[in-house]
Structure 1
Amino acid sequence: MKRWFACVLLVLGWAVQVDALAAGVATVKIGGQTVTVSFVGQDARVDMPGTSPGYLLMRGGRLYMVMQVAGQPLVMDGAMLTRMMSRRAKAQGSPDMIGSLIRLEPVGPKETVAGFPGQVYEAAYRDEQGREHTGRAVLGTQPEVQDLTEILGQLALLFQAAAGQPQAAVQQVVDALHERDAGLLAYGDQFRVELLKTTPPAPGTLDMPAPPSPDLSQIPLGLPPQ
């Protein structure tokens, strides 16, 4: 999962200030996985059914992972989460991680995604090995689409910061989307918004269930939910 959040969310990343009243619930397909994103203002929760024994929580500009262990909530901060995920996924690598954005240009046709009309763009970027890639993106200018993209972008930035990775490529995408006043509806077969509602999530959804735990480095990576 780290690879998709680090790769795909980096393609999304931008840094417009979220309206304090912005709220919504979205279903997003990332690679072959479907996640649910719930947000209010700058706080958010990402549920990953079937792929994780817990969920991601972003509160106050910090990233956490919430799990159930022996029937009790266990909360890891972002740096600890990144270290554990890095140990699990270090053999996978990310050969197509974006290194620099080359262009993001409209190519003519319109496309509706999740009920939102969007403009089709061609995106081209160079990966960290210097190889060029092109992809088809659909951008929407609707405020709720921009709000969702902002939340996902903040998650990407927090992952990068926790992993100690450079963010220059993120800033390039930030600037490109700023110039277009747009958010991302779809990108190739890697990302697609399937549902987006401006209804606030249920009360308590974004609450911190317990204080962050101390060093969890001894917890087995394959620990199943209880």
Structure 2
Amino acid sequence: MVIDLSAMAGMMGGRMGAEVPSTSPGTDRAVEVESFGATGEKEVVAGIQGEVYEIRWRDEDGRTHTDQAVLSDNPLAVELTSVMHEVARTYAEAMDREHSGVVEDALSARGLGILRYGDMRLTEISGESPGEKAFTLPAKPMDPSGMGGIPGGR
């Protein structure tokens, strides 16, 4: 089953209740990056050597968080992180939610991509183009207005 989430969000007035996905787990509500520094440690993730960083950020409630990440200037990691950031922004817009993206902006400004962030770990990456089949939906997107129990639906 394929559902058009933009149409569903529109029907619900943007009240879908889902958190905006982020390229950096938990940081979707970050309002400021307080510090961003390399620890001097190295780590290989998905066959790419990266450097371990500590990222300290503040959330919208004023609480400070510190996360550990393995980052790299490898072009594939940088491009993947950039694409994931744009997906998160697009999703936020479709759900009528804010997504500050300050952690992703800090990565972009430094030309770094994520290999590992907290427990989220890249397992494999390739520069080869995926086949067309990777972009084929398993079914035609359904119109969510026909789903019972959804405000705006039948």
Matched, 1:80 2:11: no
Contact persistence 2:3–2:143 (CA under 8 A): no
1:86, distance to aligned residue in structure 2 (A) = 2.6
Contact persistence 1:105–1:123 (CA under 8 A): yes
1:102 and 1:219 map into 2 onto residues whose CA distance is 46
Matched, 1:178 2:126: no
Amino acid at match of 1:107: T
Amino acid at match of 1:201: P
> C-alpha offsets along residues 14-57 of structure 1, whole Å, 9 cap, x if unaligned?
xxxxxxxxxxxxxxxxxxxxxxxxxxxxxxxxxxxxxxxxxxxx
Amino acid at match of 1:173: V
In the other structure, the counterpart of 1:121 is 53
Q: Residue 217 and residue 146 in structure 1: after superposition, are their counterparts in 2 closer, same or farther (change >3 A)?
A: farther
RMSD: 3.0
1:211, distance to aligned residue in structure 2 (A) = 5.6
In the other structure, the counterpart of 1:194 is 123
* Structure 1 runs (4+) greater than 6 angstroms displaced: none
1:97, distance to aligned residue in structure 2 (A) = 4.6
Amino acid at match of 1:76: D
Q: Compute the TM-score of the two structures, normalised by the length of structure 2.
A: 0.74
Q: Residue 104 and residue 112 in structure 1: after superposition, are their counterparts in 2 closer, same or farther (change >3 A)?
A: same
Q: Compute the TM-score of the two structures, normalised by the length of structure 1.
A: 0.53
Structure 1: 5+ residue stretches without partners? 1-66, 68-73, 222-226
What is the DSSP-based 3-state SS (H/G/I as helix, E as strand, rest coil) of the residue aligned with 2:131? coil
Match of 1:104 among 36, 48, 55: 36
Structure 2: 5+ residue stretches without partners? 20-25
Task: Report the more deviating stretch, 113-122 or 142-151.
Answer: 142-151
What is the DSSP-based 3-state SS (H/G/I as helix, E as strand, rest coil) of the residue aligned with 1:119? strand
Q: How many equivalent pairs are there?
A: 141
Considering only CA atoms, is the larger Rg found in Structure 1 or Structure 2? 2
Q: Percent identity?
A: 31
2:90 and 2:71 map into 1 onto residues whose CA distance is 23
1:217 and 1:85 map into 2 onto residues whose CA distance is 18
Contact persistence 1:113–1:193 (CA under 8 A): yes
Task: Report the more deviating stretch, 177-186 or 209-218.
Answer: 209-218
2:148 and 2:133 map into 1 onto residues whose CA distance is 27
Structure having the higher strand fraction is 1
